[in-house]
Chain A
Amino acid sequence: MGFNQGMTDKQFNPIEAWQEIVQRWETELNEWSSQITQSEEFGALIGQATKATVYAQKTMAEQTEAVLRSLNLPSKSQIDEISERLAVIEDHLAQLKLAVGERNPAPSAPEPRRTRKPAARTSGNE
């Protein structure tokens, strides 16, 4: 319908027609998916799939960790640990910077006056 209608318009714009097709496909696929994702079977499937993914990831991580250790290479958990420590140091540095800044405030622009009133409106915004 929309496509044929486009043909009778003043100028046929192939890009607009293409966008219309994509939009319709997007809407229809999303609607179809919404119906499926609302079913109980879908919930059960997702629950099982999530559990299986977590176990699979855990097993894979443990095996990879063992291989890396045997090769004397740093593992993800070791890099994560270093990253965590860096984040803690960064956090402490930021807190120190804030504390120092509070004690020795840098000259900054004067604080604005807190007396502003809303401008009178001539017409509603509803």
Chain B
Amino acid sequence: MSEPLELLDPEAIAKQVRLEVDRALKRNIKGLDFLVAERAEVGHMPKDALYRDGTAVLYRYRPLHGEIYRIPLLVVSPPSNRGYIFDLAKGQSFFEYLLQQGYDVYNLDWNPPRRDERGLGFDDYVGRFIPAALKEIEARTGEREISLAGYCAGGTLVTIYAAIEAREHLRNLITLATPIDFSHMHLFQTWADKRYFDVDLLVRELELIPPEIMLGAFDLARPANRTAGRVNLWTNMWNDEFVKSYRMFDRWAAETLPIPGHYFGQLVKDLMWENALTNGTLEVCGKTADLGRVTASILNIVAKHDHVVSHEATTPLMTMTSSTDREELVSKGGHVSLVAGPSAVRRLWPHIDEWLGRRST
């Protein structure tokens, strides 16, 4: 039973008051620091650029051990986001974790596309950039076999790559919060309702689709998040770790990238309206993407409270592919918590290591 009398314990009350006064002072001092602080530092693991083609950049993260797993791992970033989400800070970095476990880690990342890249689409992302990155990795390592991973739309791209022809060199496919069945992308289905959403107008007039267009949809779905986030920041202003983490995530969200108009048009028309990847009608590089062609081992990772990509949107990876080695993992937390966040460090990433290590020799 509870002990309400302790409420009146003068010692406890004094201790609580001292703590709150101390935190209030720290909030004011650190709050001023926060307002005048420069951009949060992100990305700390040493890396080398190996390939660049306009918006596409391939990085190799320098291995930390003298002995690494045979099969390299290529992680594809979503075209609308900076890849440093995988390497936020020491102790909060997915790549740091993988390097510590002995993986040879590559990241296909994206610079903001130039106006003359407005015509880039699936043919380029899937048929040009991913194969070029794989060719570069093979030339460096001598290894033809590869593990491919993708987060959010990056996962969709690697899945399409695996589905456009039989890829015997693709050993493992790791998808993190990856939409495949777009009929379950409820927020975006309403936002880009075929009857009212003039996607051609946007593509024609804007050429590069600014991030505000996409971020607006997220804000409408979760209107309280921004305000609640700031209130929580103020409450925790005394806590250096919280503030540091907040600033890094805030910078990442603020640096959402524009995307090429043609690619945006394909996302809306082919995937959102036609659900073409699930229906088996998506044409990329003159080939039909067929999930049945995917035979690699699959680890499908879903966030339990993901308001962007629902669990159902990822299920074709478990039901429509031909892989005989499939595993699904539902992790606590939201969309971003899979690739950055304390619970990922403690629970999810060790599981990924346990799964991938056995399949990387």
Contacts and interface: CB of A to CB of B under 8 A. Distances in A.
17 contacts: A9-B2, A11-B6, A11-B12, A14-B20, A18-B235, A19-B232, A22-B235, A37-B190, A44-B196, A50-B197, A51-B198, A84-B114, A84-B116, A116-B102, A119-B357, A121-B354, A125-B351
B193 A47 contact: yes
Contacts of A34: 221, 307
B44 interface: no
Interface stretch (B45-53, B82-90, B154-162, B290-298): B45-53
Contacts of B49: 94, 98
A57 to B, nearest CB: 8
Interface string B248-279: 00000000000000000000000000000000
B358 interface: yes
A40 B54 CA distance: 39
Interface string A45-67: 01110110010001000000000
Contacts of A125: 350-351, 354
A3 interface: no
Contact of A15 (B20, B50, B70, B354): B20
B197 A11 contact: no
B196 A37 contact: no
A78 interface: no
Given A37-B190, A114-B68, 6 more contacts: A46-B220, A84-B114, A112-B63, A112-B68, A114-B67, A116-B70
A43 B196 contact: yes
A118 B361 contact: yes
Contacts of A22: 228, 231-232, 235
B232 A116 contact: no
Interface residues of B, number: 64
Contacts of A91: 52, 54
B16 A13 contact: yes
A108 B190 CA distance: 53
A29 B195 contact: no
B222 interface: yes
Interface string A65-102: 00000000000000010001001100100110010000
A43 B190 CA distance: 5
Given A33-B221, A47-B196, A48-B196, A114 B115 contact: no
B109 interface: no
Contacts of A40: 190, 193
A92 to B, nearest CB: 10
Interface of A: 7-15, 18-19, 22-23, 25-27, 29-30, 33-34, 37-40, 42-44, 46-48, 50-51, 54, 58, 80, 84, 87-88, 91, 94-95, 98, 109, 112-119, 121, 125-126
Contact of B52 (A43, A95, A109, A115): A95
Nearest to A118: B357
Chain A facing B: main interface SS: helix
A94 B114 CA distance: 15
A38 B190 contact: yes
Contacts of A8: 2, 4
Given A13-B16, A39-B190, A80 B115 contact: yes
Contacts of B201: 51, 54
A65 B52 CA distance: 34
B70 to A, nearest CB: 4
Nearest to B102: A116
B202 A54 contact: yes
Nearest to B359: A118
Contact of A11 (B7, B50, B205): B7
Given A43-B191, A50-B202, A112 B186 contact: no
B193 A44 contact: yes
A19 B235 contact: yes
Contacts of A25: 224, 228
B156 to A, nearest CB: 22
Contact of B197 (A14, A47, A116, A121): A47
Nearest to A61: B205
B61 interface: no
Contacts of A9: 2
B224 A117 contact: no
B195 A54 contact: no
Nearest to B197: A47
